[in-house]
Amino acid sequence: KSSFIQNSFNKAYPTMKFLLLRFCLRKYFRVRSPPVKQNSIIYTESIFLLKFNLYSCHRQQIIL
């Protein structure tokens, strides 16, 4: 089961890293960004961060 989690993490990690970087950049430049569909974007990215925290529990097995 841990190998399945590791394989799925390694496949999803580049997209997750990109989304996390985009999320941090959006939080940094929040003053400039227009509030268009901001609630839905924050909602989807909070779900992503929740899943990312679940995956990071297995950090010992995964070389980031």
Are 20 and 64 a contacting pair, CB within 8 Å? no
Give average pLDDT by consecutive 10-residue segment, the chain, 64 residues. Answer: 70 74 68 54 68 61 46
pLDDT for the residue 21:
74
Is 63 inside any structural domain?
Answer: no
pLDDT for the residue 63:
44
Q: Pick the closest to residue 24 from 64, 55, 52, 57 (CA basis).
A: 52
pLDDT for the residue 22:
75
**Distance set, CA 52 to CA 11, 33, 36, 56, 60 (Å):** 13, 25, 25, 6, 14
pLDDT for the residue 64:
42
Residue 31 belongs to what domain range?
Answer: 2-58
**What is the C-alpha to C-alpha distance for residues 24 and 58, in angstroms, rounded to an integer?**
23
Is 64 inside any structural domain?
Answer: no
Count of domains observed in the chain: 1
